[in-house]
Amino acid sequence: MKSLYAFTKKEIMDQLRSNKVLVLGIIFIIFGIMNPAIAKLTPWLFEKMSDSLAESGIQVGKITVDALMSWEQFFKNIPMGLIAFVLLESSIFTKEYQSGTLVLSLTKGLKRHNVVIAKTVVLVLLWTVCFWMCFGITYVYNDFYWDNSIADNLLFSSFCWWFFGIWVIMIMVLSSTILKNGSGVLLGTGGVVFAIYLISMIPKVDKYMETMLTTGYSLTTGASKISDYTVAVIVTLIVSVVFFVAGIIVFNKKRL
Amino acid sequence: MDKIREYLPFIIPLVIVEIILLVVTLHHIFTHENYKRGSRLLWVIVTIIGMEFIGPILYFVLGKEDE
C-alpha cells in the first residue's frame, strides 16, 4: 500500500514536471470559455453573413441565444478535449518501457499491479479534474448570461460524457500494457473507439454501446430520458472494469 | 464600446491564460538547450507567432525534449 502511494505520488510529480498538466489544463479552460463565447457570438456571426445568405435566397430570422446553445457547444467541443488528452497521455506507459526506468522500480520490490493501478489513478484523476473544470467554467458563464435551468438533466448528461472518457482511458491502459510504443497505443485506442462507433450505427444495438454516452446532449433538450441510458452506463462500467483487470493481468506477464 | 464591454468577461480570462502560457513556454525554451526537433530560434518564432495558444501547445507536444 505504501509503495502504491509513493509510486502514485511520483507519477503525479512526473505529470506536473513535464508540463502536461499545464497544457491540458489550459486546453480545457479555453474550451470552457469558448463554449459560451461562441454561443454569444452566433447572432453577430449570422448578422455578418445575412447579406451573402440573402443573395443565395436564405432569409435569416431573429436568433435568440440561450444556455442550451452554449451547452450544445460544450458537447461538441469535449471530444476535441478528449482527443488532446489521449494524444498527450498515450505515452504514459510506453515512455517508461523505452527508457527502462520501470525495471529499476520493479527490482526494488514494487508490485507490478501497483504500476498499472497508480498510472490509471493518475489518468482518471487528471481527466476528472480537466473535464469538470471545463464544465464548471461553462456553467458559471451560462448562469451569468442566461439561465441554466432550461437545460434538463445537465449533471447526468455531463456525467455520461465523463464516464465515456473513463472508458477511453481504460482502453488506453489495456493497449499500453499490450503494445510497446506510443503510436501503437494511439492507433489501438482510436481503432477500438472507431470500431465501437461503427457498430453503434446498427439500429437497436446503439443502445447497448458505449458511444451512446456521448449523445448526452439530447438529454438536456428533453429529447431522451435518463432511463434510456442505464443500459449503456452499466455496459460501460462492466467493460471498463474488464479492461482494467485485463490490463493488470497482461502487465503481470509482460517482459520489460 | 458597449459591444466590447459585453464581451469583456470572455476576453479578460482568455488574455490572462494566453499570457501565462506564453511566459511558461518562453521560460521553458530558454532554460533548455536541446529539443526533440527544431532549434531555439524556430520555437521562439513559432511560440510568438502562434501565441494564441497554438504555438505554445505545438512546442509542448512536438518540440519539448523528453526527460
CA distance A188 to A119: 18
Whether the Cβ atoms of residue A217 and residue A77 lie closer than 8 Å to each other: no
CA distance A152 to A162: 17
The mean pLDDT of chain B is 81
The mean pLDDT of chain A is 86
Q: pLDDT-derived band of residue B66, with 50, 70 and 90 as boundaries?
A: low
Tell me the per-residue pLDDT of A80-131, one tens digit each, with 9 for 90 and over.
Answer: 899 989 988 888 888 888 888 888 888 888 888 888 899 999 999 999 999 9
Q: Which amino acid is at A150?
A: I
Tell me the per-residue pLDDT of A152-182, one tens digit each, with 9 for 90 and over.
Answer: 788 888 888 999 999 999 999 999 999 888 8
Average pLDDT over residues B13-42: 85
CA distance A256 to A175: 15
Parse chain B into domains and list their residue ranges.
2-63
Q: Do A88 and B14 touch (CB under 8 A)?
A: no
What number is the ipTM of this complex? 0.76
Chain A interface, Cβ < 8 Å to B? 17-20, 22-23, 26-27, 29-30, 33, 36-37, 40, 87-88, 95, 141, 144
Q: pLDDT-derived band of residue B2, with 50, 70 and 90 as boundaries?
A: low
End-to-end CA distance of chain B: 48
Q: Which amino acid is at B39?
A: S
CA distance B19 to A252: 45
A145: pLDDT strictly greater than 70:
yes
A-chain CB neighbours of B6 within 8 Å are: 40
A242: pLDDT strictly greater than 70:
yes
CA distance A116 to A124: 12
What pLDDT, on the 0 to 100 scale, is given for residue A126?
A: 93
- Nearest Cα neighbor of B59 from A186, B17, B44, A89 is B44
Residues in CB range of A183: below 8 A, 6 or more apart: A90
CB A229: neighbour CB atoms within 10 A? 23
Q: Do A36 and B10 touch (CB under 8 A)?
A: yes
Q: Do B53 and A26 touch (CB under 8 A)?
A: yes
What pLDDT, on the 0 to 100 scale, is given for residue A132?
A: 93
Residue A165's Cβ-count burial label (10 Å; 0-12, 13-18, 19+) is buried
Whether the Cβ atoms of residue A4 and residue A118 lie closer than 8 Å to each other: yes
CA distance B63 to B40: 10
Q: Which residue has the cell 485506442?
A: A189
Q: pLDDT-derived band of residue A183, with 50, 70 and 90 as boundaries?
A: confident
CA distance A102 to A133: 32
Is B9 part of the contact surface with chain A (CB cutoff 8 Å)?
yes
